[in-house]
Amino acid sequence: MKQSVIRIAYVLAVAAPLAMGWLVVSGQIWSLMRLKLPPSFQVFVTIITVMSGVLVAAMGAVFLYLAYRPRWWGKIICLFPAVSWLGFSVMSGAMGPPNPVRWVPAAAGALLLLVASVHHLTDRSLGPFGPAKGSGTGGKVS
């Protein structure tokens, strides 16, 4: 049962990088950052857009792998972008008028934070650092 909960959580986690990828590819990320880029920077915008597609594909593949075979480091993989995207959303909200797409990084970050929490609550193992004290599972998820 625990294994199924973790797997479903990681399948749902695929939506977070897809949402952030859409934000970059659609160009909405630039309005969130309130950047007025000169035309000479168009090359860099194109590079960032293409590389975000690569990052979305890589993160989606990692989350699908974790759905197939949950690992202890999956919670860490979820935690870093979650904190980053939540912080980005807070700062973009604090630095200007409301933007209708400001909720996208917040929702993506909250989803990954939820997945990391679900994984940690169902399996408290710490990988090579041993099981959490009092977990009683020995690092195994049944």
Closest by Cα among 96, 141, 122 to 9: 122
Per-residue pLDDT tens digits for 81-117 = 999 999 988 888 887 777 788 889 999 999 999 999 9
End-to-end CA, the chain = 7
Q: Which residue has the higher pLDDT, 106 or 136?
A: 106
Among 40-49, 81-90, 122-131, which stretch is predicted with the lowest mean pLDDT? 122-131
pTM to 2 decimal places: 0.82
- For the chain, give the mean pLDDT: 85
